[in-house]
């Protein structure tokens, strides 16, 4: 079949069902594309034998009439998800050689739904970063770099996932979002990235960054694909104490409802000084699209939004300092045995195993939790977090969804912001509030910057209202009318 890589997930499923292609053929095409785009550095492990074996099993099931929701679809997995028998490093030296004997709940659900595992995808070390530049394997590269003439950041922390879906080397991909790590790279790479409500997808088997913020979600080329993949990922898991024991509505059914009669909130606080004028213009265009489709635009205020970024950068490092204390060289991963004492082994292992950004956040978090500072920093941040959540709860009493920009800029050149952590952290200014509030959000590709780089619009909805999220996102996608064909560029060999 010609142009097999141009099919989105729904189209690929239909093609396999009609017998126009097979999972083995589709998987081989994606493995070839992954090898051809190796310069993008979006895979850290390519599982060719495993992928083909899973594809063969899928084709057998289809032949027997046992078709599952994601039957035969090739999926890339962020290297934060534990995968049985496949090295899982969180893109950190300290976990080199760690091969889990178990599968994360989310990936287990994807394979149970018929998905085929292509390999593990690059990300920032322990998901700490906004450009995928903290990975021990080096940065993933944005496939749109050719449009700019220099290598661009794919975003972070799930940069490899966004890059692979955009480049056509993964049909679908998993990501995690702690402060925007799905939505920001999705916007940078021109794909759809969705963060579910906290508790909607199990965190079991995902390497933890900040446990009260982390949430798994899908990267796809279309909103419909996103709804399909999210449906397979979501659901209660008794192994995760924060997993919500709630039914998951039919997300694909929501796509056809349109937005007529919905009230869409437009928050004053998301107008920022210095924001790219193209993003401001796109936000205004998005509002017009929704209004033309029958939605009512409602100005709203989220007054505590301005405190979201400093609040996040106290809470997230504090939780990281606790979570990363388990990496000590004793039970798994790297061990440095300089010196004779246990303390010296701990110190040498962590000094060699953790990168600079991870060390920075561990130290910030440890300081914020230390005696004499806990009340002033961590406790105060939790109190402000509650106020941020209340802002959204109040807003959703009068509106069904909220429309904002996804990022304050288009993708920037690799290395441009790496030496200035605060400037890098500002990339998360529009995405962090949703994580603090625990609500779902989605980034939809909706336009382009003056230099031809993709820009995204973000939709937020109330907790466990992902169906409303998809209603609005689908409307924006239809109005934008952008091609879902992944970009090609010469440096990647395509």
Dist CA 55 CA 171 (whole Å): 14
Residue with tokens 């530049």: 133
- What's 153's DSSP letter? B
Dist CA 480 CA 466 (whole Å): 21
Is 181 catalytic? The answer is: yes
Q: Please report which residue ranges of 370-486 form alpha helices under DSSP H.
A: 380-395, 421-425, 432-437, 466-480
Per 3-state DSSP, the chain is made up of helix, strand and coil in percentages (nearest 5) of 45, 15, 40
Selecting among 58, 78, 145, 461, the annotated active-site residue is 78
Is 78 catalytic? The answer is: yes
Selecting among 104, 157, 243, 321, the annotated active-site residue is 157
Does a cis peptide bond (omega within 30 degrees of 0) precede residue 157? yes
Selecting among 135, 158, 161, 181, the annotated active-site residue is 181
CA distances from 42 to 364, 382, 491 (A): 29, 35, 14
Element (H, E) at 10: helix 9-18
Instruction: For strands 43-46 and 116-121, give the pairing.
Output: antiparallel
Is 417 catalytic? The answer is: no
> How many residues are given for the chain?
494
Dist CA 188 CA 446 (whole Å): 11
- Structure token digits, residue 93: 């030296």
Catalytically active residues, by annotation: 78, 157, 181
């Amino acid at each position: 079949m010609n142009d097999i890589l141009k099919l989105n997930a729904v189209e690929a499923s239909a093609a396999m069902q009609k017998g126009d292609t097979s999972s083995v053929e589709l998987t081989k095409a994606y493995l070839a594309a992954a090898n051809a785009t190796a310069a993008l550095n979006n895979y850290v492990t390519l599982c060719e034998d495993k992928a083909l074996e899973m594809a063969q099993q899928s084709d057998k099931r289809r032949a027997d009439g046992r078709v599952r929701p994601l039957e035969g679809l090739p999926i890339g997995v962020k290297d934060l998800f534990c995968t049985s028998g496949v090295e899982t490093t969180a893109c950190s030296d300290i976990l080199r050689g760690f091969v889990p004997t178990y599968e994360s709940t989310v990936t287990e659900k994807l394979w149970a739904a018929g998905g085929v595992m292509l390999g593990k995808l690059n990300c920032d070390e322990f998901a700490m970063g906004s450009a995928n530049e903290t990975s021990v394997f080096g940065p993933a590269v944005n496939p749109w770099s050719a449009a700019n003439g220099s290598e661009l950041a794919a975003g972070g922390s799930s940069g490899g996932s966004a890059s692979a879906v955009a480049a056509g080397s993964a049909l679908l991909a998993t990501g995690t979002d702690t402060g925007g790590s799905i939505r920001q790279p999705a916007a940078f790479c021109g794909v759809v990235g969705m963060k579910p409500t906290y508790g909607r997808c199990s965190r079991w088997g995902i390497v933890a960054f900040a446990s009260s913020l982390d949430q798994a979600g899908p990267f796809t080329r279309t909103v419909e694909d996103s709804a399909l993949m999210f449906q397979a990922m979501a659901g209660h898991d008794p192994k995760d104490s924060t997993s919500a024991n709630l039914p998951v509505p039919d997300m694909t059914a929501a796509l056809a409802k349109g937005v007529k009669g919905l009230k869409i909130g437009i928050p004053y606080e998301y107008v920022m000084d210095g924001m790219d004028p193209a993003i401001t213009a796109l936000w205004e265009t998005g509002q017009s699209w929704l209004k033309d489709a029958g939605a009512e635009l409602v100005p709203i205020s989220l007054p505590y939004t301005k405190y979201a970024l400093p609040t996040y950068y106290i809470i997230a490092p504090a939780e990281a300092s606790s979570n990363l204390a388990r990496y000590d060289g004793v039970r798994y991963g790297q061990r440095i045995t300089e010196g004779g004492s246990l303390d010296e082994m701990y110190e040498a292992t962590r000094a060699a195993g953790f990168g600079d950004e991870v060390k920075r956040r561990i130290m910030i978090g440890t300081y914020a939790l230390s005696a004499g500072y806990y009340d002033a920093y961590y406790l105060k941040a939790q109190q402000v977090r509650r106020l941020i959540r209340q802002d959204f709860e109040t807003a959703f009493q009068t509106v069904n969804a909220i429309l904002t920009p996804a990022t304050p800029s288009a993708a920037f050149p690799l290395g441009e912001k790496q030496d200035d952590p605060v400037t890098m952290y500002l990339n998360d200014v529009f995405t962090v509030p949703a994580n603090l509030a625990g609500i779902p959000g989605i980034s939809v590709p909706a336009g382009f910057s003056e230099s031809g780089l993709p820009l995204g619009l973000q939709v937020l909805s109330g907790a466990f209202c992902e169906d409303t999220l998809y209603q609005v996102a689908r409307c924006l996608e239809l109005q934008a009318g952008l091609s879902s064909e992944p970009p090609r560029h010469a440096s990647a060999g395509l």
